[in-house]
Structure 1
Amino acid sequence: MTAQNFPTELPQDVPTGLFIGGEFRDGSDGGTVEVYNPSNGTVLATVASASKDDAREALDKAVEVQEQWAATSTRERSEILRKAFELIHEHADELALIQSLELGRALKDSQGEVAYAAEFFRWFAEEAVRVRGDYRESPAGNARIVVRHVPVGPCLAVTPWNFPLAMGARKLAPALAAGCTMVVKPASKTPLTMLYLAKLLQQAGVPDGVVAVLPSNKASNVSSLLEDARLRKFTFTGSTEIGQMLAQKAAEKSIRVSLELGGNAPYVVLDDADMDTAVEAVATAKMRGAGQVCIAANRFLVQESIAEEFTQRVVERMKQLRQGPATLEDVDYAALSGTDQVETVSKLVDDALERGATRYLGDALPEGLPEEGYYYPLTVLGNIPDGSEILDNEIFGPVIAVSTFTSDEEAVQKANDTQFGLAAYVFSSGLERALNVAEKIEAGMVAVNKGALSDPAAPFGGVKQSGIGREGGFEGIHEFLETQFISLPK
């Protein structure tokens, strides 16, 4: 199969309507959203677009069934989530194909996301039955204190285009486990995966109205629900600017908020690092999803004495990766999500080069790629001057930007020289040294001597301008629970 001959057709059973009240249907005003295939630039599908009326109807139904869903036993909710986990695995091939077609991401990366997303349903199926309260006596000795946790109520989730399944799963699974209903607004670039998941959740036994999925060509049609006091929780993954703006809107109604926002992850390589490990981890920490990952390594900070060796070895390792259409099985990285993303990456690289950076790799795209696809060449830059825009902005593309430091203290200072604090990576053969640097980095998550970081059993989230709250782990379900205190006489 050549780069000009690759799968471009969706599975026949992919829904394209709004999912409201357990039904897939057209939008009330007849609006639609065109979904493009980034691998070749063609229209992949046309899906219904939600109006404000559709959003209101979805919330009406969520409110209507909230009490009933909250009253189901935790065991029943657990079994439904477990069934969802099983169904995702049964339909893993379809889900991976849908994601690769609408996102333009390499099939092997999409297959990894399916497995990752499924684990959230398994994890929170187990957590649903383990929510604990507390009983204690007042220190004054005049009261008994009972603490219990109850569902926060109807939720709104806004998910990004770069992980169309996992980001929805990371929000839906704990919300359902906690006993909350949820309206999901997927990104207009990648709505098909979430619509397919809605079908699987219905098959798993999620009652009608508990989950709604509302693609929209106008995001404000769905975010208008933040004006409704019946909504009790807002969870968002996306850009810092948009997330903070919507959080301000939620605050007007005292709606609880959790945000996973932008990142600018440092990849710190100390001079005692195992070079093979540090180089190989780049393929995961940077190149997964062609770099379109919120926790992707963004700034490669390498100790000066080993910077040249590291850069040259990274170049040789990156030359082994194959770029091509997303649905070819032997492709390592594929297209970007759209022409807008290609333009953003191009501007950051051009700025660095104009300021004096050195390009070691990335002069041109490989031959044979579809001309209308949204591709950008894997690029390695070195000698990044201070002040370059690429050091302050999320690249979200296959660009490795290397700069140097001379001491551990300078490494920490450069790593923290950003408004963001989502993820970080540290490489050192000395555990004490690695931990010392990792603990000083201002990030919600730090990987030591590895390029993979996410785990459904661990709390995912950032500090500073990278967000509020945590998803996954033991902490994840509590984002969807309120704490109630009952005082009893003694």
Structure 2
Amino acid sequence: MDVQPIIDRMNTGLFINGQWRDAEGGKTIDVINPATGKVLTSVADGSAADAEEAIEVAGETQDSWGRTAPRERAEILRRAYEILIERADDIAAVMTAEMGKPLAESKGEVTYGAEFFRWFSEEAVRIDGDFTKSPDGSTRIMVSREPVGPCVLVTPWNFPLAMGTRKIGPAIAAGCTMVFKPAKLTPLTSLLLVEALVDAGLPAGVLNVVTSNSAGRVVTPWMESGIARKVTFTGSTEVGIGLLEQAAKTVMNTSMELGGNAPFVVCEDADLDKAVEGAMVAKMRNIGEACTAANRFFVHRSVSDEFARRLAERMGAMKVGNGLDEGTEVGPLVEEKALNKVAELVDDAVGKGAKVLTGGKKIDGEGYFYAPTVLTDVPEDSDIRIEEIFGPVAPITPFDTDEEAIALANETEYGLAGYLYSENIGRAMRLAEELECGMIGLNTGLISNPGAPFGGYKQSGLGREGGRVGIDEFLEVKYVALPRG
């Protein structure tokens, strides 16, 4: 598929106060196709001055936007949803070209990401409050929920559409203005998202977008502006901690979706067909480049060999190639640095005694490809048991008791997602309660859903996105006391 004509007609500048324009000094960033290592196009490389202008516009627009009718905000989101669905093929092709995932997965992300706009279009008209009497009967207590104010949105490269809609959707529904920093590796999909919102009728100044080669150069002025009242970030725990430190200086509202190290637990009474199928989804969705990806496989010793054999057979048979090519099931990793990290983790584990059932190596040729890999006998001191892999590698460790499985699963500072397979519902629910994760797939490898709260425990973040609680992150509670008179 030739995606270049779509890219050539795109807006690739900054978007501030309803206008597309060049960055200060006309600087640009190259966007690379990870399947070929070649330049797709260039986008604006925003400066600190560009960022300051964007946050000032967001601040100036907040009052008028916050007073718009909920139905008006809802209709904009609904139209944006419909536009994304209409343009799904083009958006998916661009996403695959800049990020690498197979075209079928990119189309799936457009559908999934668009659903956040539909979901929050429905939530916009359901922002409620409360009206009660005080316990002594002397006062009427009126509670309302108001927009938190201008928001800083920072998204990652691995789900460039869905991570944008998951933040922009509730912000629009709540009546908040925004400044938005897309990931430098995958800005094109985010810019197509902005185009959809503009065409849906989003007023000038509500969403202001600054692409940049340096996140700090853009985000720091926003955090220090005194204008922003909310920051929502998806990315590494290390960067999230830095943003929390900055937010503390102005006591800024925060929500953070950070790192993951998801356990995948298979009990001896699990249906192995279901478990292997779920493992393929939980591990290989997005080439394993997902914070929810199954990272550590803990399988009961009695079924460990059989599970490993079946999983290796399935993963080893997957077609690796350019995501735009028909039939491709595994695309390239997003950049050379990511490829090298995966290789280092596997090499470390193998060097310490792990066995390779399939894969275990880079794939020669252009692009950043790593073979789908299954490892067994993974030593406890291997880096792959500790670090997030973000690639198509499944390390398997056997366990003997439920208590051991839970201890292994919880032996991490992260607690975003977990997966659990057992045909005994009582046992499954008990183990699910003991897993220290914000989200658990019980006999399923797919947990992400716009109607469900997304977020984690421990160093995997703060707050929740999506679901009925997702809009709460963008609202403040206001209480008015009314004497009975």
CA deviations 1:388-421 (Å, max 9, x no partner) are 1101111000001000110111111110000000
Q: Which residues in structure 2 correspond to 1:103-252 (within 5 Å)?
A: 103-224=99-220, 225-252=222-249
Cα displacement (A) at 1:31: 1.7
Q: Which residues in structure 2 correspond to 1:236-275 (within 5 Å)?
A: 236-275=233-272
Cα displacement (A) at 1:15: 1.5
Counterpart position of 1:359? 356
Amino acid at match of 1:338: E
- Whole-angstrom distance in 1 between the partners of 2:447 and 2:313: 24
Cα displacement (A) at 1:363: 4.5
CA deviations 1:171-193 (Å, max 9, x no partner) are 00000000001111011000011
Amino acid at match of 1:288: R
Counterpart position of 1:380? 374
- Whole-angstrom distance in 1 between the partners of 2:319 and 2:2: 17
Aligned length: 482
* Structure 2 unaligned spans of 5+: none
Q: Which residues in structure 2 correspond to 1:23-62 (within 5 Å)?
A: 23-62=19-58
1:464 maps to 2:461? no
- Whole-angstrom distance in 1 between the partners of 2:274 and 2:362: 27
Counterpart position of 2:310? 313
Amino acid at match of 1:434: A
1:339 maps to 2:333? no
Secondary structure class of the residue paired with 2:265: strand
Contact 2:12 2:191 in 1 (8 A): yes
Amino acid at match of 1:379: T
Counterpart position of 1:298? 295
Amino acid at match of 1:252: K
1:415 maps to 2:409? yes
Counterpart position of 1:404? 398
1:77 maps to 2:73? yes
- Whole-angstrom distance in 2 between the partners of 1:393 and 1:328: 32
- Whole-angstrom distance in 2 between the partners of 1:29 and 1:138: 59
Counterpart position of 1:445? 439
Secondary structure class of the residue paired with 1:293: coil
Amino acid at match of 2:124: A
Q: TM-score, normalised by structure 2?
A: 0.98
Counterpart position of 1:278? 275
1:473 maps to 2:467? yes
Secondary structure class of the residue paired with 2:480: strand
- Whole-angstrom distance in 2 between the partners of 1:375 and 1:142: 70
Using a 3 Å threshold, how does the CA distance of structure 1 residues 10 and 463 change in structure 2: closer, same or farther? farther
Secondary structure class of the residue paired with 2:26: coil
Counterpart position of 2:4? 9
Cα displacement (A) at 1:251: 1.0
Amino acid at match of 1:25: R
Cα displacement (A) at 1:53: 0.8
CA deviations 1:434-481 (Å, max 9, x no partner) are 111111000000000011000000000001000000000000001000
Amino acid at match of 1:173: G
Bigger drift between 12-21 and 291-300 goes to 12-21
1:436 maps to 2:436? no
- Whole-angstrom distance in 2 between the partners of 1:16 and 1:268: 44
Cα displacement (A) at 1:365: 5.7
* Structure 1 unaligned spans of 5+: 1-5
Contact 1:280 1:317 in 2 (8 A): no
Question: Which residue of the other structure, out of 389, 398, 408, is the alignment partner of 1:395?
Answer: 389
Cα displacement (A) at 1:364: 4.8
CA deviations 1:214-250 (Å, max 9, x no partner) are 1101111211210011110000000000011111101
- Whole-angstrom distance in 2 between the partners of 1:364 and 1:62: 48
Q: TM-score, normalised by structure 1?
A: 0.97
Using a 3 Å threshold, how does the CA distance of structure 1 residues 314 and 10 change in structure 2: closer, same or farther? farther
Percent of paired sites with the same residue: 50
Bigger drift between 231-240 and 65-74 goes to 65-74
Contact 1:421 1:442 in 2 (8 A): yes
Secondary structure class of the residue paired with 1:157: strand
Counterpart position of 2:479? 485
- Whole-angstrom distance in 2 between the partners of 1:326 and 1:7: 12
Contact 1:10 1:101 in 2 (8 A): no
- Whole-angstrom distance in 2 between the partners of 1:42 and 1:101: 10
Secondary structure class of the residue paired with 1:29: helix
Amino acid at match of 2:187: P
- Whole-angstrom distance in 1 between the partners of 2:415 and 2:315: 27
Contact 2:152 2:178 in 1 (8 A): yes
Bigger drift between 324-333 and 357-366 goes to 357-366
Contact 1:194 1:213 in 2 (8 A): no
Cα displacement (A) at 1:140: 2.2
Amino acid at match of 2:356: R
- Whole-angstrom distance in 2 between the partners of 1:133 and 1:10: 49
Counterpart position of 1:330? 327
- Whole-angstrom distance in 2 between the partners of 1:229 and 1:139: 38
Contact 1:229 1:255 in 2 (8 A): no
CA deviations 1:127-160 (Å, max 9, x no partner) are 0000110011111222111100000010001100
What RMSD in Å do the two structures reach over aligned CA positions? 1.1
Secondary structure class of the residue paired with 2:25: coil
Using a 3 Å threshold, how does the CA distance of structure 1 residues 175 and 355 change in structure 2: closer, same or farther? same
